[in-house]
């Protein structure tokens, strides 16, 4: 074994033993630095004869490369170790909880959600959304809808009145969304296809009645629409809304002052269990009222009932929401109990669409 | 409207089952509300007491041996313990066996031991069967009652009671005969109602009659002399009881019976108690009557009454008076069959608050053609049940009834229903309903029967044909589509409501829907409470005024949740507020409140950092989020402090568009307002007045503006200014932005502090200005120049001094 071999073994052992970057650097300077031992030995090559250089040159070069390589390798190893140590020190407990996202905490009220569902369905059938004021005149709420002054039909509506004005006229809180039918027909010529979701008011309060509730009114006026079309629209709506493939509906004659003929509609369902199931069972549940727009109503807005015809319907939004989503008590809708809203409310990104499904 | 099956069958010859009758009623528009098939009575059997001995251990109990016929207990006698004083050998009574539900004691029997002796059933009293209040002893039937058979059959108890939900039209269906006519017309049997025979009578009524009220459309009166007014017969009592009426005496029961049988209300006076002539007149103000319900009524002027020299004896069409009513001493009766103006009766009934079977019928319209027939029918029943001799009649004040004629084109039915019907079919259906149709060209001209005042036009006739032909015959037909792809249907305002909701919910807020009315105190605390928006008949005092703002409802809701232990809530509502009682006084508003620590990052304590109490800036951030979501970013709008009076004067602001239009308000609340609402903070809230947000500009194309990207890096420079404490940071930001509009891209306040080192009433505001060169990298000179412009601009606007 030559001197260089011995030196190489010695240096490689020293490099391997270096505990940190500084120790390694000390070795590098001592051996490979300008005045380092190997560098000095390399300088000696110039004084050698070509013969000597032939053997000493490669030997010294080999030594230098081996030491250089060992230092680089060791430096990487030390760096890896340092990173590993840092990473170990940086460890955290990932089972610690994170704050819930704001969008996960937020809720949309079932009424808003159901109105969006209704809107999606009727938009597909070519209907627009109409609106009107909650504080109405007696004319729009009753007279224009063919409720004669003093008629018993007015008493079916437990009306809220406002204080009488100078002329002794008292406004009412609309008892149904039907006044918007009149406002729409006054403002717009047929063909008309609108639905009117909105707040309505009756002086009544128990588990199924609250002084304020929500109705969905529909109105179609043109020169051809008839009861057969009305049945189709309502059946398609109910099937889509309740998201069931089959739904049996029963139309039976009834009475509303502003439609003639008038009908009420029941849905066949099973109410034996905790939840209402549609499309099965033997019960009939009333769900809406409808009929052909009364000739007096058409005449009142300047439409000739021998030329124009159409149909209208009304249903409780809160009621269909309860039927679909199973809330037991109407009063809770308006109580703003955070527990109820959290449970029955909808997430902000649950947008009802027909292409993505009304509910998920 | 209630009636029993046997009663219906007095008028209708039918083999149809109860279920079929009920289905048909519903499908022709007489919706069956409930059916009581009386099955509860079925298990009770007639039984004979063979022997009645003494109970070994109880003085007042007897030990019976009872024979309940060959089918019970293999024909062997049953041992029954009984405490009834009238239990005796040979008595034929009513037995309930173990397993039978006994309605009067609400118990299902089992074999029981009474004082150590087994009892295999129970002999029942009338009260135990809920037949009457009688409980002095067990039912004691005639000795020939058939032992072993069902008591219900023997006593005729199984007569199902049907209740229908009458709509305000169809006054004809307020009588069993009218219901039978509809069923017969629908093909469910044959109508067998008979017209009452005309009774001429003899002699004068003996009472003069003067009709002056316009409410009276006709008045028929007759006396029956020498009547004996006892209890009415059992069949009559049974029917009245079945529909929930209390039998009183024969004369009164007859009027009630005819009210339900024919929809024809009547009244009977005790002639002996009538003084002088009967006057049908309008009441003077302040006249009073003690009515048959034993209550005193003061009549509004103009209420139509029947009066005599003693005063008011009866409220026309609504309720009789106690004074001249008939009781068991009555021997001379005056029978009244009158006709009244429906709207007048409705008005009087409403103002007096009296609901009676008579009013119900008169305000819907009683058959004018049956007035005198009703008098005859009542007379006939009085003669049958009470004896006596009838006088002739007086008929006064009759306004002639002019039957309506309606032209129904053959095609009208199909036009409205989409279902074909031949003229023959329409003619047949209308005829059986009592219409008198004849053909004129391509139409049926129909005379409307006197009992259908609700039928006004051809649409009503279409309904008649439709309900009897069957609504089910009409098959659904698609509504033709207007276009292949339906476009946008929401208005900007409707769309903004929806967007605002989703945006606020996405910020962790929970939507509520609260009542549109609040208490007067709440309304006044938020700028409302005007008399025009006050309810005349609120459901309760705390729901009396239309809300001027969404905030009182939301703050109260946060308070209720806090009281339940949920103090950190973020609630919002997008709904209407009411500033006037006209349509344009109703405003669309998005409002919200945050309570406790319910800021946008979530409430409460947390290992990574506890949420701070909510502040005005949480509310401000919500406002900006709403405005951004509805497409109207607010960062360039004016912010003014403070907001309305109900907010904290030092911690609230409003966003304005121009000098007058307020788009939103936000802030913490005034402590006095929270005290009024009895809710504790910390609370902040906001309202965005969505109506005030301008409509977006109409654009010709959907193309977005061209995007130009600068090749040069932005440069950021910090400036710290010392200003008077009252100087708003917004002014510093605006001044910096305005210093060089081409270069200054963004100004951000990154530090605000006040301290003694700055001097009294001073603060430091530090801003970071982002400069975005478009054409080349800025030179040091250019940077210095723009910095100087920014410093000078801020100094000029606010008197600020750059900190060294």
**Tens of pLDDT, residues B110-157:** 888 888 888 898 999 888 888 777 778 898 889 888 988 888 888 877
Size of interface A-B (CB pairs under 8 A): 265
CA–CA separation, B73 vs B67, rounded Å? Answer: 9
Q: What is the average per-residue pLDDT within A243-262?
A: 92
The pairing of strands B122-123 and B161-165 is unpaired
- Number of CB atoms found within 10 A of residue B389's CB: 13
HSE-CB at A181 with a 13 A cutoff on CA atoms is: 33
Measured in whole angstroms, the distance separating CA A257 from the mean position of its chain's CA atoms is: 40
Helix (H, G, I), strand (E, B) or coil at A64: helix
Q: Show the tokens assigned to B563.
A: 């009281």
Distance separating alpha carbons of residues B624 and B194, to the nearest angstrom? 79
Closest CA in chain B for residue A224 = B415
B771 compared with B169, residue with greater pLDDT: B771
pLDDT at B727: 92
Q: Which of A60-64, B312-316, B417-421, B513-517 has the lowest mean pLDDT?
A: A60-64
Q: Where are the domains of chain B?
A: 2-38+160-191, 40-155, 209-396, 405-468, 492-692, 715-802
Chain A residues inside the 8 Å CB shell of B167: 254-255
The shortest CB-CB distance from B511 to any of A103, A109, A295 is to A109
B715-802: same fold as B492-692? no
What pLDDT, on a 0 to 100 scale, did the predictor assign at position A44?
82
Report how far apart the first and last C-alpha atoms of chain B are (Å, whole number): 93
Give chain B's mean pLDDT.
92
- Report how far residue B589's alpha carbon sits from residue B549's, in angstroms, rounded to the nearest whole number: 8
pLDDT of residue B719: 95
Q: How is residue A162 annotated by DSSP?
A: B
Q: How far apart are CA B198 and CA A20, in angstroms?
A: 130
How far is CA B436 from each of CA B169, B413, B444, B457, B469, rounded to the nearest angstrom? 20, 18, 9, 15, 18
At residue B746, the 3 state secondary structure works out as strand
Residue A35's Cβ-side half-sphere holds a number of Cα atoms within 13 Å equal to 0
pLDDT (average), residues B426-452: 95
Token pair 């005092």 in the structure block, residue: B541
Mutation to test the B interface, candidates A100, A112, A168, most B Cβ within 10 Å: A112
pLDDT at A158: 85
Annotated binding site of A: 260
Say yes or no: B354 contacts chain A, CB-CB below 8 A: no
- Asked if A233 and B417 come within 8 Å (Cβ–Cβ), the reply is no
Higher confidence at residue B551 or residue B539? B551
The nearest alpha carbon in chain B to A137 belongs to: B582
Binding residues of B for Mg(2+): 454, 460, 463-464
Residues 6+ apart with CB under 8 A from B115: B55, B57, B58, B61, B81
Average pLDDT on B300-306 reads 94
Inter-chain touch A161–B566, beta carbons under 8 Å: no
Contact partners, residue B518, CB within 8 Å, separation at least 6: B528, B542, B543, B544, B545, B547, B552, B553, B556
Q: Mind listing the pLDDT tens digit for each residue in A206-228?
A: 777 899 999 999 999 999 999 99
A102 CB neighbours in chain B (<8 A) are 506-508, 600-602
Distance from CA of A350 to the nearest CA of B (A): 9
Q: What is the mean pLDDT of residues B786-792?
A: 94
Q: What interhelical angle do A50-90 and A3-17 show, nearest 10?
A: 10
**Which residues neighbour A103 within 8 Å (Cβ) at sequence distance 6 or greater?**
A347, A348, A349, B505, B506, B508
**A255·B28 Cβ contact <8 A:** no
pLDDT digits (tens, 9 = 90+) for A258-293: 999 999 999 988 877 777 788 778 888 899 999 999
Question: How close does chain A come to B414, measured CA to CA in Å?
Answer: 8
Across the interface, whether the CB atoms of B494 and A123 are under 8 A apart is answered: no
Q: Smallest Cβ distance to B168: which of A153, A199, A333?
A: A153
pLDDT of residue A1: 44
DSSP B19-85: HHHHHHHHHTT-EEEEEE--GGGTT-EEEEEEEEEE-TT-TT-EEEEEE--TTSGGG--EEEEE--T
The model's pLDDT over B708-744, given as tens digits with 9 standing for 90+, comes to 888 899 999 999 999 999 999 999 999 999 999 889 9
B512 has pLDDT over 50 = yes
CA distances (Å), origin B365, targets B168, B174, B280: 10, 10, 19
Contact A96 B571 (CB under 8 A): no
What architecture does CATH give domain B209-396?
A: 3-Layer(bba) Sandwich (3.50)
Torsions phi, psi for A318 (to 5 deg): -60, -40
Whether B478 sits inside 8 A of A232 (CB atoms) is yes
**Predicted TM-score (pTM) of this structure:** 0.86
B665 vs chain A: nearest CA distance in angstroms? 22
Q: Which residue of A has its CA nearest to B503?
A: A348
CB < 8 Å from B in window 196-255 of A: 199, 201, 203-205, 211-212, 220, 225-229, 231-233, 235, 251-255
Nearest to A116 by CA among A347, A326, A313: A347
What does the alpha-carbon distance between residue B768 and residue B704 come to, in Å, rounded to a whole number?
30
- pLDDT, residue A178, reads 95
- Residue B588 has what pLDDT? 96
Assign B486 a pLDDT band (cuts: 50, 70, 90). confident
pLDDT of residue A5: 82
Q: List all residues of chain A from 317 to 336 with a beta carbon under 8 Å from chain B.
A: 333-336
pLDDT greater than 70 at residue A152: no
Cα–Cα distances in Å, from B625 out to B506, B507, B592?
10, 9, 12
Task: Give me the mean pLDDT over the A303-327 stretch.
Answer: 94
Q: Do B482 and A126 touch (CB under 8 A)?
A: yes
Which CATH architecture does the domain made up of B492-692 adopt? Answer: 2-Layer Sandwich (3.30)
What is the average pLDDT across B387-407? 93
* A156 shares contact with chain B (CB less than 8 Å): yes
Cβ contact B678:B562 at 8 Å: no
Worst-scoring range by mean pLDDT, A330-344, B56-70, B494-508?
Answer: B56-70
What is the arrangement of strands in the sheet containing B209-211, beginning at the earlier edge strand? B209-211, B278-282, B304-308, B311-315, B319-320
For chain A, the domains span 3-90, 108-344
% of chain B residues with pLDDT over 70: 100
**Which of B361, B416, B483 best probes binding to A when mutated, by most A CB atoms within 10 angstroms?**
B416
Over residues A168-179, the pLDDT tens digits come to: 888 999 999 999
Q: Which of B468, B469, B513, B626 to mutate to test the interface with A (most CBs of A within 10 A)?
A: B513
* Inter-residue contact B467 to B28 (CB < 8 Å): yes
Residues 90-149 on A with a CB inside 8 Å of B are: 96-97, 99-100, 102-103, 105-109, 111-112, 116, 119, 122-129, 131-135, 148-149
Domain range B2-38+160-191, CATH architecture:
2-Layer Sandwich (3.30)
Helix (H, G, I), strand (E, B) or coil at B391: strand
Please report residues of B whose CB lies closer than 8 A to that of A94: none
Nearest to A116 among B498, B507, B543 (CB): B498
Spatial distance between the Cα atoms of A5 and A12, rounded to a whole number of angstroms = 11
Compute the nearest-CA separation of A354 from chain B (Å).
Answer: 13
Superfamily of segment(s) A108-344 = Bira Bifunctional Protein; Domain 2 (3.30.930.10)
| Segment B569-628, tens digit of pLDDT | 999 999 999 999 999 999 999 999 999 999 999 999 999 999 999 999 999 999 999 999
Beta bridge partners of B653: B666
Q: Name the E strands within A66-178.
A: 128-129, 135-136, 172-173
Q: Distance between terminal CA atoms of chain A?
A: 81
**CATH architecture for residues B40-155:** Beta Barrel (2.40)
Binning pLDDT at 50, 70 and 90, where does residue A153 land? low
The secondary structure element, H or E, covering residue B255 is helix B250-262
B687 contact partners, CB below 8 Å, separation of at least 6? B549, B550, B551, B589, B590, B591, B664, B665, B666
CB contact B581 to A (< 8 Å) = yes
Q: Are A106 and B506 in contact (CB under 8 A)?
A: yes
Sign of CA dihedral B233, B236, B242, B248: negative
Residues B581, A173: C-beta atoms closer than 8 Å: no
> Using CB atoms and an 8 Å cut-off, which of residues 74-113 of chain B contact chain A?
none
At A2, the pLDDT band (50, 70, 90 cuts) reads low
d(CA B48, CA B67): 5
CATH topology of domain B715-802: Alpha-Beta Plaits (3.30.70)
User: Which residue numbers of A belong to the known binding site for Mg(2+)?
Assistant: 260
Gap from B688 CA to chain A (nearest CA, Å): 18
Can you give the pLDDT at residue A225? 96
Pure H helices in B341-386: 342-352, 357-362, 371-386
Give the Cα separation of B12 and B20 in Å (integer): 14
CA angle A354, A359, A360 (to 5 degrees): 110
**Quick one: which H or E segment has residue B652?**
strand B647-657
Distance from CA of B550 to the nearest CA of A (A): 13
B479 contacts in chain A (CB < 8 Å): 125-126, 220, 225, 229, 232-233
Which CATH code is given to the segment(s) B405-468? 3.30.56.10
**B335 at interface of A, judged by CB pairs closer than 8 A:** no
The whole-number average pLDDT for the span B181-189 is: 92
């Amino acid at each position: 074994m030559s001197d260089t071999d011995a030196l190489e073994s010695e240096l490689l052992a020293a490099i391997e033993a270096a505990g940190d970057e500084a120790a390694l650097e000390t070795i590098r300077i001592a051996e490979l630095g300008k005045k380092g031992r190997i560098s000095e030995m390399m300088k000696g090559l110039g004084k050698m004869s070509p013969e000597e250089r032939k053997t000493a040159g490669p030997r010294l070069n080999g030594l230098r490369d081996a030491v250089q390589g060992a230092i680089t390798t060791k430096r990487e190893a030390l760096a890896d170790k340092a990173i590993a140590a840092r990473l170990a020190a940086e460890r955290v407990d990932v089972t610690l909880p994170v704050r819930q996202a704001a969008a996960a905490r937020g809720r949309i009220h079932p009424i808003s959600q159901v109105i969006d569902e209704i809107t999606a369905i009727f938009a597909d059938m070519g209907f627009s959304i109409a609106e009107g004021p909650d504080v109405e005149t007696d004319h729009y709420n009753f007279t224009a809808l063919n409720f004669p002054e003093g008629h018993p039909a007015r008493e079916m509506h437990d009306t809220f009145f406002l204080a009488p004005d100078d002329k002794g006229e008292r406004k009412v809180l609309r008892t149904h969304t039907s006044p918007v039918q009149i406002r729409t027909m006054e403002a717009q010529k047929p063909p008309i296809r609108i639905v009117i979701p909105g707040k309505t008011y009756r002086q009544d309060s128990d588990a199924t009645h609250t002084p304020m509730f929500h109705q969905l009114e529909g109105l179609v006026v043109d020169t051809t629409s008839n009861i057969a079309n009305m049945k189709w629209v309502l059946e398609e709506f109910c099937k889509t809304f309740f998201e069931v493939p089959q739904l049996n509906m029963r139309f039976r004659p009834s009475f509303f002052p502003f439609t003639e003929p008038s009908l009420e509609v029941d849905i066949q369902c099973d109410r034996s269990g905790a939840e209402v199931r549609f499309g099965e069972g033997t019960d009939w549940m009333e769900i809406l009222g409808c009929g052909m727009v009364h000739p007096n109503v058409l005449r009142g807005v300047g439409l000739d009932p021998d030329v124009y015809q159409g149909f209208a319907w009304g249903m409780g939004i809160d009621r269909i929401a309860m039927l679909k989503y199973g809330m037991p008590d109407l009063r809770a809708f308006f109580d703003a109990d955070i527990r109820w809203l959290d449970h029955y409310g909808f997430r902000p990104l649950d947008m009802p669409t027909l292409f993505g499904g009304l509910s998920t | 409207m209630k009636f029993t099956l046997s009663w219906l069958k007095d008028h209708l010859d039918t083999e149809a089952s109860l279920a079929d009758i009920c289905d048909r009623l519903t499908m022709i528009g007489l919706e069956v509300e409930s059916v009581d098939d009386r099955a509860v009575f079925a298990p009770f059997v007639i039984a004979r007491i063979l022997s009645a001995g003494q109970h070994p251990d109880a003085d007042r109990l007897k030990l019976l041996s009872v024979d309940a016929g060959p089918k019970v207990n293999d024909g062997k006698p049953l041992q029954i313990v009984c405490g009834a004083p009238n239990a005796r050998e040979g008595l034929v009574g009513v037995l309930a066996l173990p397993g039978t539900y006994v309605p009067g004691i609400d118990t299902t029997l089992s074999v029981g031991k009474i004082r150590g002796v087994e009892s295999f059933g129970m002999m029942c009293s009338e009260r135990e069967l809920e037949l009457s209040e009688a409980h002095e002893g067990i039912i004691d039937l005639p000795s020939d009652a058939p032992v072993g058979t069902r008591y219900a059959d023997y006593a005729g108890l199984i007569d199902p009671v049907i209740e229908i939900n009458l709509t305000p039209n169809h006054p004809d269906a307020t009588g069993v005969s009218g219901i039978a006519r509809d069923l017969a017309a629908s093909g469910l049997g044959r109508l067998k109602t008979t017209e009452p025979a005309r009774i001429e009578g003899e002699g004068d009524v003996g009472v003069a009659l003067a009709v002056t009220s316009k409410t009276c459309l006709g008045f028929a009166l007759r006396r029956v002399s020498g009547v004996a007014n006892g209890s009415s017969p059992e069949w009559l009592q049974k029917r009245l009881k079945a529909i929930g009426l209390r039998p009183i005496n024969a004369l009164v029961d007859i009027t009630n019976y005819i009210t339900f049988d024919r929809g024809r209300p009547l009244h009977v006076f005790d002639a002996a108690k009538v003084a002088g002539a009967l006057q049908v007149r309008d009441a003077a103000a302040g006249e009073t009557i003690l009515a048959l319900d034993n209550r005193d009524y003061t009549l509004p002027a103009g209420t139509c009454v029947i009066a005599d020299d003693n005063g008011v004896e009866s409220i026309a069409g609504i309720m009789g008076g106690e004074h001249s009513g008939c009781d068991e001493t009555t021997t001379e009766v005056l029978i009244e069959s009158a006709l009244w103006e429906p709207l007048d009766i409705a008005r009087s009934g409403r103002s007096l608050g009296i609901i009676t079977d008579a009013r119900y019928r008169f305000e819907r319209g009683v058959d004018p053609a049956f007035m005198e027939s009703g008098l005859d029918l009542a007379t006939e029943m009085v003669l049958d049940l009470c004896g006596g001799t009838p006088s002739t009649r007086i008929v006064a004040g009759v306004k002639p009834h002019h039957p309506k004629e309606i032209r129904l084109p053959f095609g009208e039915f199909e036009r409205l229903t989409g279902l074909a019907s031949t003229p023959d079919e329409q003619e047949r259906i209308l005829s059986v309903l009592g219409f008198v149709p004849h053909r004129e060209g391509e139409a049926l001209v129909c005379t409307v029967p006197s009992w259908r005042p609700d039928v006004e036009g051809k649409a009503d006739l279409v309904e008649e044909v439709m309900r009897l032909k069957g609504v089910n015959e009409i098959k659904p037909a698609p509504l033709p589509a207007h276009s292949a792809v339906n476009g946008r249907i929401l208005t900007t305002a409707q769309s903004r409501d929806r967007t605002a909701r989703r945006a606020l919910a996405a910020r962790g807020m929970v939507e509520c829907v609260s009542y549109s009315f609040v208490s007067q105190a709440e309304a006044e605390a938020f700028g409302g409470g005007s008399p025009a928006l006050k309810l005349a008949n609120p459901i309760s005092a705390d729901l009396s005024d239309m809300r001027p703002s969404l905030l009182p409802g939301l703050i109260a809701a946060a308070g209720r949740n806090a009281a339940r232990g949920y103090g950190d809530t973020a609630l919002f509502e997008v709904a209407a507020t009411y500033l006037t009682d006209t349509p344009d006084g109703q405003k669309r508003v998005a409002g919200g409140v945050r309570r406790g620590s319910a800021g946008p990052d979530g409430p409460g304590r947390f290992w990574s950092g506890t949420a701070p109490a909510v502040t005005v800036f949480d509310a401000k951030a919500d406002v900006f989020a709403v405005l951004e979501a509805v497409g109207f970013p607010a960062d360039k709008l004016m912010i003014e402090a403070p907001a309305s009076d109900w907010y904290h004067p030092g911690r609230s602001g409003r966003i304005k568009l121009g000098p007058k239009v307020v788009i939103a308000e936000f802030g913490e609340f005034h402590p006095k307002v929270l005290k009024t609402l009895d809710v504790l903070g910390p609370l902040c809230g906001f309202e965005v007045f969505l109506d005030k947000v301008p409509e977006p500009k109409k654009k010709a194309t959907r193309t977005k503006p061209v995007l130009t990207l600068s090749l040069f890096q932005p440069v950021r420079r910090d400036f710290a200014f010392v200003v008077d404490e009252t100087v708003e940071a917004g002014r510093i930001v605006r001044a910096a932005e305005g210093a060089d509009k081409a270069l200054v891209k963004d100004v951000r306040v990154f530090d605000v502090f006040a301290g003694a080192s700055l001097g009294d009433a001073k603060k430091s505001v530090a801003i970071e200005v982002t400069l975005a060169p478009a054409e080349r990298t800025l030179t040091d000179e250019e940077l210095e120049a723009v910095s100087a412009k920014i410093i000078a601009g801020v100094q000029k606007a606010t008197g600020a001094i750059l900190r060294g």
